[in-house]
Amino acid sequence: MRITGNRLIDLSSASTTKAQSSVGTVSAQLSSGLRVTTPSDDPAAWLAAQRTKVRQALSQGTGAAVATSRDRLTVTDNSLAQIGDIVSQIQTLAVQGSSDTYNANNRAGLGAEVHGLFLAALDSANVQGNDGEFLLGGNASVTAPFDAGGVYHGDAAVRSVPGNASLTAGVTISGSSLTAAHGVDVMPLLSRVATALSNNDMPTLLAALPDLTTAVKQISLARSQGGAAMNALDQTTAARTVLEQDMTAAISRYTEVDSVQAASDLAKASQSLEVSRAVASHIISLLAPST
Amino acid sequence: MSDLFSLLSVGSSSMSAQNSGIAIATNNVANVNTEGYSKERVGDVASGTPVRLQDNLLTGQIQTAAGSLAMSQAFADALASLETGMVGGGATVDEQIANLFSKAGQASAAPTDSVSRDAVVAAARDLVAGIQRRAAAVAQARKDANTRIGDNAAQATALAKQLAAANAAVAKTQSPAALDQRDKVAKQLGELVGGKARVDHDGQMRYVLDGGAVLVDGIHAATLAATPDAATGNTKLEVVNGAARRDVTSAIGGGKIGADLKFRDQNVAQASGKLDQLAFDVTSSVNAVHTANAGLDGVSGRPMFTPVAQVAGAASAMAVDPALLADSKLLALSAPGAGPGDNTGALAMFSLATQNVATGGTTLGESALGIVSDVAQSSANAKGDVTRDGLVTDNLAGLRDSLAGVDTQEELTNLARFEHASTAMGKFVTTIDGMLGSLINSL
């Protein structure tokens, strides 16, 4: 095949341009850290990365729901703990008040103290989240679930939130766990004890003592259920953290540059460019005398 | 004596031939960088007529390859532009769909929380904006393609006229320069419209488009007219020859125009249709969940997105329900009658992320991914086609150069050869002339 001088120059020019383009491509990849900047760079890798990003976004939604639920369970558990403490204190005061050594005045004093504790328990039972939701109200969570007499007006619903693979159930505790449905009506019981002490109503007071014991157990059971839910949420979070790390690594693997490989490619491309330039220079000098 | 006169005649002819050789070599060197120039050689020694070195088959292949390369390049450029429109400017639609469902999942932990509710509404608004932006990008791509088709059709008409004029010049002079010019114009025409140029027995070139419509017939050039098609809103192409009009829109499959037609009628139409279908599916499926659930006020039956009646145009018509935009308390995250703290609606919306509710039996996210993925795959294939066609064109250019390219060193050598031959012939004539003089003087 006959090759003209112009053709030689064209070929060497094309070779130099190609080598220069390779250097530019690899340099851009190294500086940006990205191998896939547009989907068409590697459609399969881009698609895999996008699918992972979608899963990551959904996982983040799950994570936020789990974190919120965990925070609220903590607040709820603290409230139940306070209520439990208060019930224990009231139980102690009720036992004291039931003693024959106490007279009506002594009991009236204890009654006032128990009433104050009842109000504190009521505050705890009507605990609200950051957004103002009443945490023990079940689904009726926009109004205070316990009224001034301690009567529960919420429902028994408990919430489920998305987990890693399925729903995580029971991430809220309903105030119904403090009602007769689960033992005794705890809050009215406290009010009744305060009234009995104030009124020196010994039969009522004595009748309330076993109920107070039941109430303590009832609260403890509610807290243990909450603890189990918190444990489940913590496990979900731990698994999700690992999953998200894996997904981040996968996205990086699909779309980012392997720096060692890229550095090697850059060296090769640079060498190729130098050779192309040298060849072009040689061709031009060879052709120069005749042109 | 008569032999000496014959020798003088031979010398004269030979000197003339050598001078023609010098002229041709000089002309070759002068045109070494002229695009499309075919090297010339001395043909008929007696007349000194130059012969143009070229191969009709190779010329045809070069024209076809130029059309293919121009088509690949234009197609790749158009797809790259559409791809940028589909993925540029922030989150992709599949990410925005995932974000909407993610926010719904997040709100399931606090369905009465105004911040969580606002976040869901904001994600819905972002999704609508994202789909509308992509719909606008697709519409712009269609508009740009139509504009380019119109511009290139006008350019093709001008080139067709030039080709007819070149045919006339060839018929008149048969000069190599006219033939070169005709091949060059035919190649440029191929880059615009594809098709084929053929030189018939009468020496005239005819340019035939894919599908058989004749654009140039000897010295007659038809017009490639671009007019709006009322039915589709697209530009249609017709070959107009006098009163005759022939629609060639679906026939042209090469060159830049072929690329834009393919891009517009396949890729853009497909992306537009799928985007509309996605918007329709998102609206339908999310609304189905939303209307079945209740807002903070306990009222159900309200949509999240303004319902759309049909698939066509759904992407650009998509909108978040104005009442919901104004008040996120209307966001239906609870089952009717279950109380505001219920999160049934939020969970149902979150679960849409993994349900195959999109047309084609996929998730909505996969459906969105498919739109970009199709464009990306086509774009990647087009880039490969550009490389392939570039290699073919380059190889053919090498073959042409081997046959018809000017090599300056070779031409300078020829020049020296012709100069020396001419000088020798001069001496030969002088010698014969001297011999004749001596002979005449001796008589």
pLDDT by residue (tens digit) across B70-109?
Answer: 999 999 999 999 999 999 888 999 999 999 999 999 999 9
CB distance B20 to B48 below 8 Å: yes
Q: What angle do CA A13, A17, A22 make, to 5 degrees?
A: 150
* Whole-angstrom distance, CA of residue B118 vs CA of residue B46: 94
**How far apart are alpha carbons B388 and B65 in whole angstroms?**
10
Residues of B in contact with A39 (CB under 8 A): 83, 87, 372-373, 375-376, 379
Q: How far is it, in rounded angstroms, from Cα B172 to Cα B345?
A: 84
pLDDT value at residue A165: 75
DSSP A175: G
**Other Cβ atoms closer than 10 A to B119:** 21
Q: Which two tokens stand for residue B173?
A: 């002079």
Residue in B339, B373, B408 nearest the CB of A157: B339
- Residues of A with CB below 8 A from B380's CB? 40-43
Mark which residues 231-290 of A lie under 8 Å from B by CB. Answer: 287, 290
What is the full DSSP assignment across A119-171?
Answer: HHHHHHHT-B-TTS-BTTSTT-TTS-SB-TT--B-S------EE-SSSEE---
Separation in Å, CA of A2 to nearest CA in chain B: 5
Among the partner residues B103, B338, B347, nearest to A139 by beta-carbon distance:
B338
Mutual angle of helices B255-262 and B56-87, in 10-degree steps: 30
pLDDT digit string, tens, across residues B123-176: 999 999 999 999 999 999 999 999 999 999 999 999 999 999 999 999 998 888
SS3 A75: helix
Position A164 scores a pLDDT of 74
pLDDT at A291: 43
* Nearest of B400, B410, B429, B430 to residue B21 by alpha carbon: B410
d(CA A121, CA A152): 13
Of the candidates B373, B67, B408, B386, the one whose C-alpha atom is nearest the C-alpha of residue A42 is B373
Hey, is the C-beta of A189 within 8 angstroms of any chain B C-beta? Answer: no
Chain A environment of B92 (Cβ under 8 Å)? 50
Contacts of A113 (CB under 8 A, 6+ apart): A93
A-chain CB neighbours of B372 within 8 Å are 39, 50
Separation in Å, CA of A98 to nearest CA in chain B = 42
Out of A38, A62, A141, closest to residue B112 by CB: A141
Rounded to whole angstroms, the Cα distance separating B189 from B206 reads 12
Q: Is A141 on the interface with B (CB under 8 A)?
A: yes
Answer yes or no: pTM beyond 0.90: no
| pLDDT for position B2 | 61
Q: What does the pLDDT read at residue A8? A: 83
- Residue B374 has a CB neighbour count (10 Å cut-off) of 16
Q: CB-CB: which of B79, B101, B342 is closest to A58?
A: B101
Question: What does the pLDDT read at residue B188?
Answer: 95
- Stretches where chain B sits below pLDDT 70 are 1-2, 44-48
Contact predicate B203/B139, CB 8 Å: no
Residues of chain A with pLDDT under 50: 290-291
Residue B51 CA: distances (Å) to CA of A110, A231, B21, B59, B176: 128, 94, 11, 16, 8
- Asked if residues A114 and A94 have their Cβ atoms less than 8 Å apart, the reply is yes
